[in-house]
Amino acid sequence: MPSNDDLRQVLATVLSQISAADQKAAALLTIAGVLIAFPAPSILVPSTPSVVPFLATVFAAISACAFVWSICVALAVLFPKTKNKTDISSLIYFGDIAASTKAEYAEAIGRVDDAFETT
């Protein structure tokens, strides 16, 4: 059975993974901003005021769709999956971890550690 120090180390690892996911979400938002910014000048200020180039419109539409999609995916990071849809308990879902006792959690973490040590 892992000690409290071992469990604290696992918690620190999980928290660092969450921090890394937050940084990735911030990077995605930055990329999404760039995607929407590139075609914007060609649409807002066309070279010929009465005609907007077709290719610029297509790229702007694709960029807008990519921007909306990336915002949706970035917001999905804020809502962790707490419900496991299978009957098998998992260390991935917060709901399963919260429902387990400290001893069950420590045993499950011990099995994961043993699996990594044998590989």
The span from the CA of 22 to the CA of 61, in Å, is: 28
Query: Are 50 and 67 within one domain?
Result: yes
- pLDDT tens digits, one per residue of 29-69: 787 777 767 666 655 555 665 566 777 778 878 888 888 88
Residue range of the domain that includes 94 = 80-119
What pLDDT score does 3 carry? 76
Whether residue 30 is found in the same domain as residue 19? yes
The reply to whether 67 and 94 lie within a common domain is no
Alpha-carbon dihedral 70, 22, 75, 36, rounded to 10 degrees:
-30
Both 32 and 51 in one domain: the answer is yes
β-bridge mates for residue 51, sequence order: 48
What pLDDT was estimated at residue 119? 55
> Could you tell me where the DSSP H helices lie in 4-101?
4-37, 40-44, 54-76, 94-99
Confidence (pTM): 0.39
Helix (H, G, I), strand (E, B) or coil at 61: helix
What pLDDT score does 61 carry?
Answer: 84
Same domain, 2 and 57: yes
Domain count, the chain: 2
Per-residue tokens: 40: 């914007």
Are 40 and 10 members of one domain? yes
11 and 64 both lie in a single domain: yes
CA angle (63, 64, 68) in 5-degree steps: 115
